[in-house]
Amino acid sequence: MSSKSYRMWNGNVRDAALSILMAIEKNQAYSNLLLHQTIEKYDIEPKDRGLLTEITYGTLQHKMTLDYYLQPFIKGKLDDWVRQLLRLSLYQIHYLDRIPNHAAVNEAVEIAKKRSHKGTAGLVNGILRGILRQGVRSTEDIADPIERLSIEASHPLWLIERWVKQFGFEQAETMAFENNIPPALTVRVNTTRISVDEAIDMLLDEGIVAHQSEVIPECLHIEKGQVAKTKAYQYGAVSIQDESSMIPTYALQIEPGQRVLDMCAAPGGKSMHIAEKLNGQGSLVSVDLHPHKVKLIADQATRLGFENVETRTWDSRELTNEYEEQSFDRILVDAPCSGLGVIRRKPDIKYTKKQEDFASLHNIQIRLLDEAYKLIKPNGLIVYSTCTIDEVENNGTVQEFLANHTDMMLDELNVLPEAYHHLTSNGMIHIFPQDFNSDGFFVAAFRKKELSSKEVK
């Protein structure tokens, strides 16, 4: 590639998608954050915003499949940006019906000319036109079904093997393909400020069609539109949050007047859901490690009108240096995790996560839960949640925590909305992306036994 420097956005959707894809691959930038920042920074118009999002996410989601299709047409080594350009161009040709093939090829050639020279443009043109003439090869040529699923659904082989072992081939297959479908857009109504019906009407006044969820009453499904730009959002009537991530707050069984701790609170979605359940009574301490993330929580509390939320920048593994033991009624440990339940929201996760990451995450989760154990009152509840569906990661943490603390027991989850009951088992719930068209999530609730006077002695 030439030494020219390029703005992330120069008015060309495909060129911007290429820049974003390059940044994700080279710098391991988060796809959702980089895309959002690009759209906001350059105030990209809605007509371009949709195509930019689709090409960026679609190319990422299908990267391994696209490489499989491209491989027979590539001779020799390619620069990374040329490979990315071929991927995003083939994505348009193979997956998008509304873009004419010749338009996708011509755009790719122009971008190659602009970023390099005629020789590179000729190479790109030759490969793409070769694919148009011959078509892509079939995945049926891959004999091994697990390897074939890995390529067809574009998930690393180790991940598919792990899921097949944990859940069976059919469940793994459904989940892998579901991960390539864009997630539903949902918001949570701040019922301390406005009713669900009033929120629906308020959004409709601004041209956004929303309807109430069939499983969580304060959740609205948004058909389309930029909710964050609305007066309803600025007024604090609604907050953007995935439906499954509302489940941990239900498991906490919040009652007004309680003292609640959220140990890994940023960016604040679950914290604010807790504050809504407290309804202005009691108190909430929301903690996170990074100051800039804690500011996001404080901003949310201000927008939603909560004065009983204390935000703290602290390492939650050392909170007993700040708060007395047995001083909280409820504690949420929404722990750092592998994130395998939110792949369709952040498709880069499936390519960057490694098996060796699981051990370090497990150790962090256990240390957080051990600290929560010291801080929870007798008969209090600790809710442990993750946005991953990995059974070893979730169940392994639960079993080790229980083994280390014999006065803790799993609490029943029959307090969850009825639609989730069939997914609960032994005080835990695994929600897969395909269950409710939402993020994959795991929740377990631990109750601290009240020891008798004889046991205390």
- Got the DSSP string for 60-104? HHTHHHHHHHHGGG--S---HHHHHHHHHHHHHHHH-SSS-HHHH
Distance of CA 279 to the CA centre of its chain: 27
Question: By CB neighbour count within 10 A (0-12 exposed, 13-18 middle, 19+ buried), where does 211 fall?
Answer: exposed
| DSSP bridge pairs for 284 | 260, 309
- 3-state SS assignment for residue 245: helix
CA R_g for the chain: 24
Q: Evaluate whether 19 touches 29 at the Cβ level (below 8 Å).
A: no
Residue 350 neighbours by CB under 8 Å, 6+ apart = 154, 155, 156, 159, 179, 340, 343
Of 261, 383, 257, 401, residue with least CA distance to 322: 261
Q: Supply 212's token pair.
A: 């109430």
Cis peptide before 267 (omega within 30 of 0): yes
Q: Catalytic residue numbers?
A: 387
CA distance 157 to 443: 27
CA distance 251 to 274: 11
Residue 208 neighbours by CB under 8 Å, 6+ apart = 222, 223, 224, 225, 227, 230
Tell me the H-state helices in 135-213. 145-152, 157-167, 169-178, 196-205
